[in-house]
Amino acid sequence: MIQYNGLTLAYIGDAYFELRIREYLLSEKYSKVNDLHNNAIKFTSAVNQAIAAKFLINEIYNEEEVSVFKRGRNQNSTHKPKNADVQTYNFATGFEAVIGYLYLNNNVTRLNEIIKKAIEILEENQ
């Protein structure tokens, strides 16, 4: 497999996580697009992804996933975060990098475990 940098992994991880959150919200019987959008933000904002990442890195991630997380978190970006401080944004980028890494490696079982746990964490923190 091609070795992607942390920001590239985060790029695909962000898209995949967003899709999975949208599927989750549809399964929760939200029907209005505005409700779907407002609830999706609760899961996909940098602040909330950082909350999930802080739990996952200490409790769930294996050694390889911690390495990928750090690669995403420590990657220099020219992007300036709009709604979060730099540290929060970097944690969210690390979280997305792990999602992207697992997705690109077709590790569906582990991907599902981590996304399910992230949803549980964020539901508890709402």
Whichever domain contains 11, its CATH number is: 1.10.1520.10
Active-site residue among 14, 44, 68, 101? 14
The predicted structure's pLDDT at residue 78:
67
Range of the domain at 81: 6-124
Q: How many domains does the chain have?
A: 1
Residue range 79-116, pLDDT digits in tens: 666 778 889 999 999 999 999 999 999 999 999 999 99
96 occurs within a structural domain: yes
Under the banding of pLDDT at 50, 70 and 90, the label for residue 10 is very high
- Whether 40 is covered by a domain: the verdict is yes
Instruction: Respond yes or no: is residue 14 known to be catalytic.
Output: yes
Instruction: Please report whether residue 76 resides in a domain.
Output: yes
Q: Is residue 41 part of a domain?
A: yes
- The verdict on residue 1 lying in a domain is no
Residue 54, judged by CB atoms within 10 A of its CB (0-12, 13-18, 19+), counts as middle
0.75 surpassed by pTM: yes
Asked whether residue 58 is domain-assigned, the answer is yes
| Chain segment 19-72, per-residue pLDDT in tens | 999 999 988 777 788 888 888 998 999 999 999 999 999 999 999 999 999 999
